[in-house]
Every structure is written in C-alpha cells, then in structure tokens.
Amino acid sequence: MTTTRPETGPVVQATARRILPPAVTGQEWVLVGVIAVLWVLLGIFTPAFLSPGSVQPLLVAVAPIALVGVGMTFIILTAGIDVSVGGAIMVCAVITAKLMVGADVPLVVAVLVAVVTGTLLGLLNGFLIAYGRVHAIIITFGTANLFQFLGLRIFGSSTVNGIPSTLEAFGRGEAGRTFGIPHSFAITVVVVALAWWYLRYTRGGRHLYAIGGNENAARLAGVRVRPRVMSSYAITGGLVGLAACFIIAAGTSSLDQSVGAGRELAVIAAVVIGGTSILGGRGSVVGTLFGAILVQTVLSGVTQLGWPSQLGFLFVGLFIIVAVGTDLLREKARKKK
C-alpha cells in the first residue's frame, strides 16, 4: 500500500495569492506620510532635528529595532510572538563585549559569536514552542527571565568597560558612515530587502503566511509547520545577535546591564505599527522598517522637544492601540463577508 504526500504547491500558492501583500501597501504609504509630517513638524519646532547631527544618530537607533523587527515579523506572521528578545540582546551584547575586552578577538569573530549565540537562543524558543505546543507568549516570557538571569551572571559587575573602538565601523563616528549613511542602517536596509524577497518569492516565505493564515490547513496541505516555526525564531535570534553588536557600537566604550531593557516593546511596536497582523498571516518587512522609523522618530522627537521621555512611550502605545484596533476591525469585517 502506498501513501501520497499532500501536494503543497497549488494549495499553498493559492493561499499565498490571497494573503501576500502588494509590494508596498496603502498602510505603508500612510506610514511614510505620517513620518514625513512628523519630520516637518519637528523641523519647524526644533530645527536641529533635521540636521545631520540628529538624523544620523536617529538612523543608528532605528537599525537594531528594524533588524530584530524583521525576525519578529516572521514570527508574528506565524501567529507567534517573542517577548524574550530584550533578554537575548543582553546575553549577546555582554558575550560580545567581554570577548572584545578580555580576549581581544577580531571584530568579525565577535560578531559571528554574537549571531551564533542569538541563533541558539532563538532555536531554544522555537523548539519549546513548536514541539512543546505551549503558547509562544508563555514560553518566551519564561525564557526572557532565563536570558536576563544568564546575562546578569555573565556581566558579573554592573558594567563592561574598555570596549575597543573597532565597533565604530557599525555606525559611531566618521568610521561608521559612508556618504553620511550609518553602516548599521545600510546593513539593515539590505536585510529588509532580502527578507522581503524571501517572503514574497520563496516557498518558505509563502509557508509562513500560510501557517499564520490557518495552521491546520497549512499542515493538511503538507507544510512542515514545526520546522518553519522553529526557523522563524532561529532567524530572529541571529538578527538579535547582530543587533546587539549595533547597540554596542552606538554607545560608548562601556556596556551596562540595561542594554536590552524594553527593546522587545519597541520591536513589537514597530512590527504592529508597520501593518503586520497580530493574528498572523498578513504583514510586510517593509512596513516594519517604516514602523521602526516612526517609533524612533517619536522617541527622539520627544527628547528633542525637551518633553518627559515617558511621553514618547505614551505616544508609541497609542499608535499600537490604533494599529491593533484597526487590524481587529479589518479582520472582523473580513469574516462577515
């Protein structure tokens, strides 16, 4: 007796055609418009905001948010979430810093170690979620505390001092820019472009959309759901490792224990504001990049205006509420059709 494996191609491709977004969606154009309006208003009230001395640090700050946001987009497309990225950033950052300070390893080796470390942390999350069949927010909330504990143990003292200037190549100072564009931001744009191509034109990308759209239907169509879910968390972990290097590069010659604090909120905000459905199955990494720019524009703008920094988080929170509310209303309207 022979068994035939379900044919994945036609079913998944048909599903993908229904849920793949256009190259640039209407919501993304709205984001571009909102960012432009904010930049104009901030330029009027604080002219220094539009100077190279302000725009370049803003782009440096956008890079790690958008970079991790690419991976988070993959995860949320599958209807998952990862609230442990802040703790993972802390682990990757302190390992990288200690290697460069204590062992004097070359920059390339330190970055590779950070990426591999992040990937392993992501694989742990992915394995527990895919094979433990426990909701992602519960698993990653637990691993967030585990990663925080590991990071603090590795830190030992409250700070790591004497980080070499070689990391400036990622974005700090003249060595970190080409034609005024920070290298970290340029690398992030390249990663966004590659991720956009992957999601739009490869089977793996279509599978992520299909899993988030209807996991059971995707499984019946022959999609290997568990490996795909694991890979999304592993990719996010690798990007977390690279983002940790960007964060170190954007700072001073020392690293403290607050390095990953609150990063997960900024990342999730960028993804959701960028148009990725929190319910899964719909979204775009291009929107995530614009969402990251909007989030950092608000946070930097509040500082430039001299307002309390808490207001920045308030405004970002309001953007999240509007984005999620709009998404839920859209989904409700779709189900009524």
254-288 pLDDT per residue, tens: 788 888 888 999 999 999 999 999 999 999 999 99
Residue 64: is its pLDDT beyond 80? yes
Give me the pLDDT at residue 149, please. 94
CA count, 13 A, side-chain hemisphere, 139: 20
Q: Which residues pair with 160 in a beta bridge?
A: 255
Residue whose C-alpha is closest to residue 275's, from 79, 27, 36, 80? 27
Residue 7: is its pLDDT beyond 70? no
Give me the pLDDT at residue 27, please. 77
For residues 288-292, average pLDDT: 97
| Higher-pLDDT residue of 154, 170 | 154
Residue 2: is its pLDDT beyond 50? no
Contact between 131 and 226 under an 8 Å Cβ cutoff? The reply is yes
Which pLDDT band holds residue 11 (cuts at 50, 70, 90)? very low
Scanning the chain, the segments in alpha helix (DSSP H) are: 8-19, 26-45, 52-77, 85-98, 107-132, 136-155, 183-201, 203-213, 215-220, 225-250, 263-273, 285-304, 309-336
Going along the chain from its start, the domains and CATH numbers come out as: 34-328 (1.10.3470)
Residue type, 21: P
Contact between 124 and 183 under an 8 Å Cβ cutoff? The reply is no
How many Å apart are CA 108 and CA 119, to the nearest integer? 16
Q: Which of 61-65, 88-92, 95-99, 102-106 has the lowest mean pLDDT?
A: 102-106
How many Å apart are CA 251 and CA 61, to the nearest integer? 10
How many Å apart are CA 90 and CA 98, to the nearest integer? 12
**Packing angle between helix 183-201 and helix 203-213, nearest 10 degrees?**
80
**Packing angle between helix 85-98 and helix 107-132, nearest 10 degrees?**
150
Average pLDDT, the chain: 87
- For the chain, the first-to-last Cα distance in angstroms comes to 43
**Which helix (H) or strand (E) is 159 found in, with range?**
strand 159-160
How many Å apart are CA 236 and CA 119, to the nearest integer? 7
Which pLDDT band holds residue 20 (cuts at 50, 70, 90)? low
228-253 pLDDT per residue, tens: 999 999 999 999 999 999 998 887 67
DSSP line for 111-146: HHHHHHHHHHHHHHHHHHHHHH---HHHHHHHHHHH
184-217 pLDDT per residue, tens: 999 999 999 999 999 999 999 999 999 999 999 9
Which pLDDT band holds residue 106 (cuts at 50, 70, 90)? confident
Alpha-carbon torsion 110, 114, 120, 121, what sign? positive
Our measurement of the distance from residue 131's CA atom to the centroid of its chain's CA atoms, rounded to an integer in Å, reads 23
For residues 89-111, average pLDDT: 88
299-331 pLDDT per residue, tens: 999 998 989 988 998 999 898 998 888 888 887
